[in-house]
A and B are shown apart, each in its own frame.
Chain A
Amino acid sequence: MVTERRPDAFLPLTPALFHVLLSLVDGEKHGYAIMKEVAERTGGRDALSTGTLYGILKRLLADGLIRGSALGSTERRRAYRLTPLGRRVALAEAERLRDVLATAQVKHLIPRAVEG
């Protein structure tokens, strides 16, 4: 059994992996929905294909970051949702990225976002 690991241990995440986690933040989704959301969110720039997506899902499952739903009689396929650990990892990555962004702003690489 995988013992609970600290979220930091998973960082940094690859962009594709982070995208998958992000798309699961607002609820459980099946593969096609994840692909669709990631494609829409990134304007098609980081579109995932089935092979890559399921490679990522396999890893997330093995690491205990997501859980698959059981197949009911009406379901054609499994849906996936974040585990508490998965949510913490996604959060940690987001915070890490925020810090990176802040540094870029301090160094005037990008303009400071307008508050409000």
Chain B
Amino acid sequence: MSRAPRHVRLFRALLRLFPSEFRGDFGDDMVEDFRDQHDSASRRGGLAPVVRLWTRTLADHVRRAPREHLDILRRDAGYAMRLLRGRPALAVSALLTLAVGIGLNAAVFTFVRGVLWRSLPLPESHRLVDVRQVSPPPDSEPTAVSPANLIDWEAQSRSLDGLASISGRDLTLVAGADPERIRAATVSRAFFKIVPVRPAAGRLFIDTDYSPLVAAVQARDPKQPSSPADPTAVVLSHGLWLRYFGGRPDVVGRRIRLGRLTVEVVGVLEAGFAFPGSESAECWLPDVPDPIQRRARYLTVVGRLAPGVPVRQAQAEFDVIAARLAAAYPDANAGRGVRVEPLLERLTASVRPQLWFLLGAAVCVLLIACANVANLLLAHASGRRLEFATRMALGANRGHLVRQAITEGLLLALTGGVAGLVLAWWALPALVALAPPTVPRLDEISVDGSVVAFAALMSLTVGLACGLVASLAAGRVDVTGALRSAAPGGTNRGRVRQGLVVAEIALALMLVIGAGLLVRTMRQIGTIDLGFNPAGVIAIGLSPDIQKYGPEGAKAQFEADLIDRVRALPGVVAAGIGSRPLAGGGMGTRVTAPGDTEKVTVGVDAVGPGYLEALGARLESGRFFDRRDDSRAPLIAIVNQTLARRLWKNAGVLGQRVITDGRELRVVGVLADVRRAELEAEPPATLYLPTAQTRTFWTNNMLVRTSGDPFAVLPSVRTVMRQIDPGQALTRIETLEERLSKATAPRRYILWLVGLFSIMALGLAVIGVYGVVAESVAQRVPEMGVRIALGATISDIMRLILTESGVLVGCGIALGTLGAVALHRTMSAFVFQVSTTDPATYVAAGICLVAVTAATCAIPARRAARIDPVRALRAE
């Protein structure tokens, strides 16, 4: 055959825009027609008619071809719809499975995105960084920042456009109506430049708001650290302005009382502004970092990257600055580094691994759901071999059948996706409501366009995957074979289905193992020796006015009065002033034993008489503090066992001396280690000092141990407080058991969710196994008939079926175990004192899967064993 002219070849190429079916039906005719059109145009002479023909044809094809594709899609979808309507059980189970899988993932994705990925609700928030100091190695823990270092950073940094400190304190607002306890944020000068926000009324801080503070800091005698100067201006949050001042514009310019401060309201922030990490702040005060304080690290520092500067570059610059400051001020800064981190990452660091884990678990459930649906479609396709073969014999090619299968998959997945989205809509609020409050940015989670896009993308992928797997059946139709015998068969397809079931079991096992490890972790945490007894203890926050109780002895007198009266209340066993356990943070210092050169880093707690008794700390030797240990008495301390071991190898500790901050203290007691700050961290070496002998501590917390319901004593404690100081409110009231429960809440949350996911996974896997085994039994009815006719007993047949399914389950378990072992490093972030390859957990999870699947497979196995051989053979 001679080669076609060039314009014909070009036209043929253009025809490729149309679907193959259309081309097959009309392509040759179209080519012939075009050839005639072209000849006629050429005959008319000149290039113009030919060019006109080409332009018109090209435009026409481009416009027309998509319509033809859409037409076919509509036809396939209509066909798929009719098929699914004809098999409602299949359609409903596939839809439900997909809805659960996609809905779960959409909900978890929205949750994770809202917390981890969505940018902070501030302009150009990607440029905001958190800057912290890092303690010397080997700890290398991030710490807060000292004011003097902040001043030097501001002067030296070029990679940041600005640095500012923010810290919080509670103040009592008095402005007419009832006094109210509110949270104040104090910010240094650059803060509102770094974090741009507009005032809704009045103005933000200007230099004159800071000048009295600067003057006070400069005029101060460096030898006499005293309380810094008082701010004179305040900016209110929009919420406080509405709530307390009724949104009146004339509040700007008014003077209000905040604790002992008298400040002028200079402005109100715009509605909705909240600085991440200080969301509860209701008023803002100016603050100037104190250049004398280089060793006291208590500031939170936020910076803004200069335009175009990556975090890496800022970190490199701060490494140099840190080294310079360490050389200049070795006592305060030797060995200390600086860490620059995007603010968003810093805020979410504590929950990031858990949320990733949750997302992984949800994806596992989705994969299992996918495998199940692919399996259902495959089973469905097996039943349709005759139909496929007939259609192929009538001229459909394999491509059409594959496309048909994919359309079915997509139709199911998209419908499932819509249902899933509805499910996510409903599940998300529950997910948020049940989340522990320690998860940051919970209030920023909402369903939005991106979730719909995510669900759509997921549905498309799932539909395509399911359809492709199902089309394996279509692609392998043996037309003559299938037409000759309508009996189902096809070992290849059977293998695919078995492979899918093995994968499902493996994934389900991995989830069950994960859940098992979390359960063991929770139990392990339950066995932690806290070093104190939380039962019956209530913690009450105090808010003594610094002005009133600042003078020497006034606070000690107030505390002694309060504790004496509270202890005398009925139902109270012990009471004392001191820190709240498991609240994180805490102060630290370094101590030495006389004659020793080694400096030991210790946590310090200043506690009043009765506190350790109220806490239920265990005294190993010596005594607790009492009323005699006042400021005039010899300086004493109690150490915990870890410190006793570090300094004196636990021998002859009582009466030993420790030196800290140039003072020598005599040890009067040894305590069993108490988990003061963190539940899961080994308690550090700790030094307890009597409050009366420390002036730098300002503890605003009281513990009360009761003999019954701790809340029952609260009214009488309030009465006592009113008698002693009517202006003081009791705040932050909680029992230590609540505190403990809060400390484990994130783990419990993850455990519940992963537990729920693994139950779903198990359920889906069981459905998958059941489907495959039941189908295999159905296919082998005649064979079973023969076996029974030849004398096989019920238990023989059951053993046969169970052995077969046992192989599948066994393969799945082997694969799942390998998968879990492969991921055990990832799991180690979530467990506590449990090995991530803990054999007991693995075995228990395996047994659980075997038991569940065996129970499921027993149903079709019994059916097989009950087959009536006569009927089975007659049907053949």
Q: Which of A31, A36, A47, A51 contacts B29 (CB 8 A)?
A: A31
Q: Which residues of B contact A76 (CB under 8 A)?
A: 32
Which residue on chain A has the smallest CB distance to residue B60? A49
Q: Contact: A77 with B29, CB < 8 Å?
A: yes
Q: How far is the CA of A76 from the CA of B60 in the complex (A)?
A: 24
Q: Contact: A31 with B33, CB < 8 Å?
A: yes
Q: Which residues of A contact B63 (CB under 8 A)?
A: 51-52
Q: Which of B712-749 contact A (CB under 8 A)?
A: none
Q: Contact: A30 with B67, CB < 8 Å?
A: no
Interface of B is mostly: helix
Q: Does A90 contact B (CB under 8 A)?
A: no
Q: A47-B56, A52-B60, A58-B26 are in contact. Are A30 and B68 (CB under 8 A)?
A: no
Which residue on chain A has the smallest CB distance to residue B21? A58
Q: Which residues of B contact A55 (CB under 8 A)?
A: 64, 67-68
Nearest CB on A from B67, distance (A): 7
Q: How far is the CA of A76 from the CA of B32 in the complex (A)?
A: 8
Q: How far is the CA of A73 from the CA of B676 in the complex (A)?
A: 98
Q: Does A10 contact B (CB under 8 A)?
A: no
Q: Contact: A30 with B29, CB < 8 Å?
A: yes
Q: Does A74 contact B (CB under 8 A)?
A: no
Q: Does B30 contact A (CB under 8 A)?
A: yes
**9 other contacts beyond A51-B57, A52-B63, A76-B32, with CB at 8 A cut-off?**
A32-B32, A35-B37, A51-B18, A52-B60, A52-B64, A53-B33, A57-B26, A58-B25, A78-B29
Q: Contact: A30 with B33, CB < 8 Å?
A: yes
Interface residues of B (CB under 8 A from A): 18, 22, 25-26, 28-30, 32-34, 36-37, 40, 56-57, 59-61, 63-65, 67-68
Q: Which of A5-63 contact B (CB under 8 A)?
A: 30-32, 35-36, 47, 49-55, 57-58
Q: Which of A72-112 contact B (CB under 8 A)?
A: 76-78
CB pairs A–B below 8 angstroms (29 shown)? A30-B33, A31-B32, A31-B33, A32-B32, A32-B36, A32-B37, A36-B40, A49-B56, A49-B59, A49-B60, A49-B61, A50-B37, A50-B57, A50-B61, A51-B18, A51-B30, A51-B60, A51-B63, A51-B64, A51-B65, A52-B64, A54-B30, A55-B64, A55-B67, A58-B26, A58-B68, A76-B32, A77-B29, A77-B33
Question: 3 closest A-B pairs (Cβ-Cβ)?
Answer: A49-B60, A51-B64, A31-B33
Among B25, B26, B28, chain A packs the most CB atoms within 10 A around the CB of B26
Q: Which residues of A contact B57 (CB under 8 A)?
A: 49-51
Which residue on chain A has the smallest CB distance to residue B61? A51
Nearest CB on A from B24, distance (A): 12
Q: Which residues of B contact A77 (CB under 8 A)?
A: 28-29, 32-33
Q: How far is the CA of A47 from the CA of B37 in the complex (A)?
A: 12
Q: Which residues of A contact B29 (CB under 8 A)?
A: 30-31, 54, 77-78
Q: How far is the CA of A115 from the CA of B325 in the complex (A)?
A: 109
Which residue on chain A has the smallest CB distance to residue B32? A77
Q: Which residues of B contact A35 (CB under 8 A)?
A: 33, 37
Q: How far is the CA of A32 from the CA of B38 in the complex (A)?
A: 11
Nearest CB on B from A45, distance (A): 13
Q: How far is the CA of A58 from the CA of B37 in the complex (A)?
A: 20
Q: Which residues of A contact B26 (CB under 8 A)?
A: 54, 57-58
Which residue on chain B has the smallest CB distance to residue A51? B64
Which residue on chain B has the smallest CB distance to residue A31? B33
Nearest CB on B from A65, distance (A): 16
Q: How far is the CA of A30 from the CA of B65 in the complex (A)?
A: 21
Which residue on chain A has the smallest CB distance to residue B56? A49
Which residue on chain B has the smallest CB distance to residue A80? B29
Nearest CB on A from B757, distance (A): 49
Q: Which residues of B contact A30 (CB under 8 A)?
A: 29, 32-33
Q: How far is the CA of A51 from the CA of B19 in the complex (A)?
A: 12
Which residue on chain B has the smallest CB distance to residue A49? B60
Q: How far is the CA of A8 from the CA of B720 in the complex (A)?
A: 94
Q: Which residues of B contact A47 (CB under 8 A)?
A: 56
Q: Which residues of B contact A50 (CB under 8 A)?
A: 30, 33-34, 37, 57, 60-61
Q: How far is the CA of A67 from the CA of B26 in the complex (A)?
A: 14
Nearest CB on B from A62, distance (A): 10
Q: Which residues of A contact B40 (CB under 8 A)?
A: 36
Which residue on chain A has the smallest CB distance to residue B68? A55
Q: Which residues of B contact A32 (CB under 8 A)?
A: 32-33, 36-37
Among A49, A53, A58, chain B packs the most CB atoms within 10 A around the CB of A49
Q: Which residues of B contact A58 (CB under 8 A)?
A: 22, 25-26, 68
Q: Which residues of A contact B37 (CB under 8 A)?
A: 32, 35, 50
Nearest CB on B from A34, distance (A): 9
Nearest CB on A from B525, distance (A): 69
Among A31, A35, A57, chain B packs the most CB atoms within 10 A around the CB of A31
Q: How far is the CA of A58 from the CA of B68 in the complex (A)?
A: 10
Q: Which residues of A contact B61 (CB under 8 A)?
A: 49-51
Q: Which residues of A contact B18 (CB under 8 A)?
A: 51
Nearest CB on A from B15, distance (A): 9
Q: Which residues of A contact B36 (CB under 8 A)?
A: 32
Among A53, A54, A76, A77, chain B packs the most CB atoms within 10 A around the CB of A54
Nearest CB on B from A67, distance (A): 14
Q: How far is the CA of A77 from the CA of B33 in the complex (A)?
A: 9
Which residue on chain A has the smallest CB distance to residue B36? A32
Q: Which residues of A contact B28 (CB under 8 A)?
A: 77
Q: How far is the CA of A18 from the CA of B266 in the complex (A)?
A: 78
Nearest CB on B from A101, distance (A): 30
Among B18, B37, B57, B65, chain A packs the most CB atoms within 10 A around the CB of B37
Q: How far is the CA of A55 from the CA of B29 in the complex (A)?
A: 13
Q: How far is the CA of A54 from the CA of B33 in the complex (A)?
A: 11
Q: Which residues of B contact A49 (CB under 8 A)?
A: 56-57, 59-61
Q: How far is the CA of A36 from the CA of B41 in the complex (A)?
A: 12
